[in-house]
Amino acid sequence: MKDLATRTQALVQSNIRAITLLLEGKNGINLGQGICDMPTPDAIKRGAQNAIDSDFSIYSHYGGILELRQALMDKSIAYNGIPVKNTDEVMVTVGSTGAFVAAIFTLLNHGDDVIVFEPYYGYHVNLLAVMGAEAKFVRTTAPNWEIDFEAVEKLITPKTKAILVNTPGNPNGKVWTKAELVRMSELIQKHDLYAITDEIYEYMLYDGREHVSLASIPGAYDRTITLSGFSKTYNMTGWRLGYAVGPEAIISKMGLLSDLIYICAPTPLQHGVAEAFSMNDEYFSEMADAYERKRHLMCTTLEEIGFNVPWPQGSYYVLADFAPLRKRFSGFEDDMAASATLVDKAGIGTVAGRSFFNNDADGSQFLRFCFAKEFHVLEDACIRLKKAFLP
């Protein structure tokens, strides 16, 4: 038979899924995949149930139901400070992943360069590769993952079309500072670039940090697409609802493209998630407190065991350095070995560091732990880790 399309030939199962498979049958705890196992808020569930009972079952506008776009516009202005002018500058998508796909297919040509910060979220880089864009990497390093703007400028050529920002970040929990975002805004204007900014963890912040959206910085909005979604904030990764906010000329093309690919996000679920906006501030403060406790438990446990831990500034992951453990244990030669050792000795799933770097060797001393678990599950995981690795 003839070969499949070239663009799919390099696609392989991600390490993240591989660990999930390894853990099955071991009664293990998966701190690998970024799925929150807490319940979805009742108001959202009831909203979707009512929409299904009311037969809101037909295609919606390709950009989403108006009620939801209006709510997202209001939220983007109030929480993010983004100068959205009307609901045509907002679209609802199948997950923020759907929004990312629409954004890159709308902005980029085959062969365009996109600047990406390492460590990165693998889906971003893999999707860029599938569509034939070239990722150019700028390293950031623990503990603060500061952006080296000189390194960024050195990579910019006439082929450079866009820059990718992810704040708060996966896998390292970096929260971009306002000063960094101001510099980024200046840079994209100076070099006539677009920015795509993934802000799906915008409500998970620690130590009093604030979320700042690049699109809120003067001069940035006209060339920035902001992506976010409901998966993480409302524990509903499987509902597949996200959104994009940006200038109408770009959003309308992204909408036409999404229309061709999947027509619209599921209509009754859009009605359900519209109820998210009826939730009060308490929901967010309780979520923030709960994540603060989970971050503390995860990071102190790893430190006790001997990991070098750059505490995340936001999101719900920690990219921990296990190099110090090599003196005490075997099975930590590299990230793949370490990940297998944690499954073997403690029944704990993690993600090998190489998943977040262009060169495997750069990730060879890191494991990513996700602490978006019910507290008692996380406690159980931490007890297992201590039993396995403390005397």
Ligand X SMILES: Cc1ncc(COP(=O)(O)O)c(C=O)c1O
- List interacting residues with ligand X (CB under 6 A): 34, 95-97, 121, 166, 170, 198, 200, 229, 231, 237, 242
Give 89 or 202: the residue with its C-beta nearer to ligand X: 202
Query: 158 vs 112, 117, 161, 183, 337, CA distance in Å?
Result: 9, 19, 8, 20, 41
What is the number of other CB atoms lying within 10 angstroms of the CB of residue 143? 13
Give 76 or 237: the residue with its C-beta nearer to ligand X: 237
Work out how close the CB of 258 gets to ligand X at its nearest, in angstroms, rounded to a whole number. Answer: 13
Amino acid, single-letter form, for residue 218: P
Work out how close the CB of 383 gets to ligand X at its nearest, in angstroms, rounded to a whole number. Answer: 26
Work out how close the CB of 199 gets to ligand X at its nearest, in angstroms, rounded to a whole number. Answer: 9
Q: Are strands 366-370 and 351-352 parallel, antiparallel or unpaired?
A: antiparallel
Give 87 or 96: the residue with its C-beta nearer to ligand X: 96
Q: Is 63 exposed, middle or buried (0-12, 13-18, 19+ CB in 10 A)?
A: buried
Give 231 or 301: the residue with its C-beta nearer to ligand X: 231
Work out how close the CB of 117 gets to ligand X at its nearest, in angstroms, rounded to a whole number. Answer: 12
Q: What is the distance between the alpha carbons of residues 25 and 30, in angstroms, rounded to a whole number?
A: 12
Work out how close the CB of 389 gets to ligand X at its nearest, in angstroms, rounded to a whole number. Answer: 27
Give 96 or 350: the residue with its C-beta nearer to ligand X: 96
Half-sphere exposure for 364 (CA within 13 Å, toward CB): 8
The alpha carbon dihedral of 62, 76, 68, 96 has a sign of positive
Q: Give the DSSP H or E segment for 16.
A: helix 15-23
Work out how close the CB of 326 gets to ligand X at its nearest, in angstroms, rounded to a whole number. Answer: 29
Residue number of the CB atom closest to ligand X: 95
Give 230 or 307: the residue with its C-beta nearer to ligand X: 230
Closest CA to 258 of 269, 237, 242: 242
Work out how close the CB of 388 gets to ligand X at its nearest, in angstroms, rounded to a whole number. Answer: 27
- Gyration radius of the chain's alpha carbons: 21
Give 200 or 212: the residue with its C-beta nearer to ligand X: 200
Give 200 or 305: the residue with its C-beta nearer to ligand X: 200
Order of strands, edge to edge, in the sheet holding 134-139? 90-93, 242-245, 224-229, 194-198, 160-166, 113-118, 134-139
Work out how close the CB of 166 gets to ligand X at its nearest, in angstroms, rounded to a whole number. Answer: 5
CB contact at 8 A, 195 and 214: yes
